[in-house]
């Protein structure tokens, strides 16, 4: 009888005593995202990475905050693709929702617009999907950018890769939207410095519906390489119509588009050999976290992650996670750790100097037999660049 009472009391005690995880307060991690509007097509690849990360953290018992694990909850608002709204949302997340940590919005203008809010509140935030030299104008200390997609690094790196493969002439077409034009601005001088002839250099509007005249001219130019500074919708248009016109240029580079899963769905083997922007691949075995991320993403969403945006978004979560594990939630300590430590991410080590990641090089991917291979620079390449 006494034994039964003791067992009952033990059971009652076990049920009434919270576990360590239950006792720990749930942490709120906030962000704004372009759920609707112009950039909403791009946002899911970033949100998916956030959701996957949060799920993995909670499945592992919570976020390690200086030795104590806390469950996490993501809090987000739709910024309607408006950078001004994004800044208002971060203000609200910090002041009203009193979130414990922040994740980044999508896109360069949004990052630049929220930088002031971060500085005003002294709230540290690891950015991700911003790609402009303008990020260097942001006051360092509260925001960091792990991306290697910076136009003044991309242009020279692309020229190095083409020159190393014997390219003597190029045809360039460029969307008039800012990221393409910023890349063009740094690409042309780099080509000229390398004595690579520019046989054609044409810009086109973002709502272009047919590229036949442009690509007919490109075919006549007969350059050794094509550099198409595209956004996603025109990357699709280019690839379909270049195939129709029989453009068989051995090296064809598209700026944004081919890393989206739908691109491969749309073109299959036709896209083989297309080169694009990206510094991450699950095939890089020196980064042991890369393939598990890819596998977990595919298992959860039944499609491949975006090699650029999903990877960057997940990297930013990893950096935050490692910094919080060491520094806790204190903003000053977090700032110091993020600014000085080296982080182990799916994209290899990341270390910041000022706002910029100084380890990850600007790099290029190539679709080879349906897989995205890193082909440049050699230091992180998973395969050699091949001709189409």
Partner 1 sequence: MESLLSGQLLFAALVLGGLYALIALGLNLVYGTMRLLNIAHGDLLMIGGYGAFWCFTLTGMSPLLGLPVIAAITAGLGIALYYLLFRGQLSSGKPIPQIEANSLLLFFGVSVVTQNVIALAFSATPRAYRYLDDVYHFGQVAMTGNRIAALAIALTCLVAIILVLNRTMFGMSIKALIQNRDAARIVGINVERVQLTSIALGFGVAGIAGGLVSMAEQISPFMGFPFTIASFVVIIMGGLGNVFGGIIAGFLLAFIEIYAVALTSANMRSILLYGIFVAVLILRPQGLLGKARQS
Residues of this chain that interact with partner 1 (CB under 8 A) are: 35-38, 40-41, 43-45, 173, 176, 202-205, 207-214, 216-217, 220, 232-233, 236-237, 240, 243-246, 260-263, 265-268, 270, 303
Nearer to partner 1, 301 or 336 (CB): 301
Q: How far is the CB of 175 from partner 1 (least distance, A)?
A: 10
The answer for residues whose C-beta is within 8 angstroms of residue 2's C-beta and 6 or more apart is none
Strand partners, 352: 357
Q: How far is the CB of 50 from partner 1 (least distance, A)?
A: 14
Q: How far is the CB of 141 from partner 1 (least distance, A)?
A: 33
Q: Rounded to an integer, what distance in angstroms lies between the CA atom of residue 54 and that of residue 42? A: 20
Q: Is 63 helix (H, G, I), strand (E, B) or coil?
A: strand
Strands 63-65 and 68-70: antiparallel
Helix, strand, coil: what percent of the chain each, to 5?
A: 45, 20, 35
Among all chains, which residue has been given the structure tokens 């550099």? Answer: 227
Torsion angle defined by CA atoms of residues 364, 263, 243 and 151, in that order, rounded to the nearest 10 degrees: -30
Nearer to partner 1, 138 or 274 (CB): 274
The answer for residues whose C-beta is within 8 angstroms of residue 321's C-beta and 6 or more apart is 53, 57, 63, 64
Residue 330 is encoded by which pair of tokens?
């204190």
Q: Is 166 left (phi over 0), alpha (psi -120 to 50) or beta?
A: left
User: Do 8 and 54 meet the contact criterion of CB atoms below 8 Å apart?
Assistant: no
Nearer to partner 1, 200 or 350 (CB): 200
Nearer to partner 1, 49 or 159 (CB): 49
Range list of β-strands (E), 7-70:
27-33, 63-65, 68-70
Q: How far is the CB of 387 from partner 1 (least distance, A)?
A: 20
Nearer to partner 1, 132 or 239 (CB): 239
Q: How far is the CB of 44 from partner 1 (least distance, A)?
A: 4
Q: How far is the CB of 261 from partner 1 (least distance, A)?
A: 8
Nearer to partner 1, 143 or 256 (CB): 256
Angle (nearest 5°) at CA 350 between 345 and 352: 145
Nearer to partner 1, 239 or 345 (CB): 239
Nearer to partner 1, 118 or 228 (CB): 228
Q: How far is the CB of 9 from partner 1 (least distance, A)?
A: 50
Q: How far is the CB of 210 from partner 1 (least distance, A)?
A: 5
Q: Rounded to an integer, what distance in angstroms lies between the CA atom of residue 54 and that of residue 49? A: 9
User: Do 229 and 175 meet the contact criterion of CB atoms below 8 Å apart?
Assistant: yes
Q: How far is the CB of 32 from partner 1 (least distance, A)?
A: 15
Nearer to partner 1, 226 or 385 (CB): 226
Task: Give the H/E segment covering residue 136.
Answer: none
The 3-state secondary structure of 279-294 reads: CCCCCCCCCCCHHHHH
């Amino acid at each position: 009888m006494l034994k039964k009472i003791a067992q009952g009391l033990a059971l009652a005690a076990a049920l009434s005593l919270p576990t360590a995880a239950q006792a720990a307060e749930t942490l709120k991690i906030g962000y704004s995202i372009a759920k609707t509007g112009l950039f909403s097509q791009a946002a899911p690849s970033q949100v998916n990475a956030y959701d996957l990360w949060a799920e993995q953290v909670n499945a592992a018992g919570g976020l390690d905050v200086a030795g104590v694990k806390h469950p996490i909850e993501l809090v987000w608002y739709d910024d309607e693709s408006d950078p001004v709204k994004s800044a208002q949302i971060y203000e609200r997340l910090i002041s009203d929702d009193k979130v414990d940590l922040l994740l980044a919005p999508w896109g360069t203008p949004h990052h630049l617009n929220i930088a002031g809010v971060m500085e005003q509140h002294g709230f540290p935030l690891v950015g991700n999907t911003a790609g402009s030299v303008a990020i260097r104008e942001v006051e360092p200390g509260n925001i960091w950018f792990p991306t290697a997609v910076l136009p003044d690094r991309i242009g020279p790196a692309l020229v190095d890769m083409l020159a190393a493969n014997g390219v003597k002439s190029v045809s360039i077409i460029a969307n008039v939207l800012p990221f393409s034009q910023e890349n063009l601005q740094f690409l042309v001088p780099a080509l000229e410095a390398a004595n690579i002839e520019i046989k054609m250099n044409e810009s086109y509007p973002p709502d272009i519906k047919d590229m036949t005249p442009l690509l007919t001219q490109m075919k006549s130019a007969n350059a050794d390489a094509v550099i198409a500074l595209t956004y996603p919708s025109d990357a699709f248009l280019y690839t379909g119509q270049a195939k129709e016109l029989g453009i068989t240029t051995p090296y064809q580079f598209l700026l944004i588009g081919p890393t989206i899963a739908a691109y491969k769905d749309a073109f299959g083997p036709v896209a083989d050999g297309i080169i694009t922007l990206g510094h991450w691949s699950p095939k890089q075995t020196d980064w042991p976290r890369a393939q598990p991320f890819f596998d977990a993403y595919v298992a959860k969403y039944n499609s491949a992650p975006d090699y650029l945006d999903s990877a960057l978004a997940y990297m930013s979560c990893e950096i935050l996670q490692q910094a919080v594990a060491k520094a806790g939630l204190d903003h000053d300590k977090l700032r110091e750790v993020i600014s000085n430590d080296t982080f182990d991410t799916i994209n290899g080590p990341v270390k910041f100097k000022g706002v910029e990641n100084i380890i990850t090089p600007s790099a290029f991917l190539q679709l080879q037999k349906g897989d995205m291979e890193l082909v440049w620079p050699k230091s992180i390449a998973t395969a050699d660049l091949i001709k189409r």
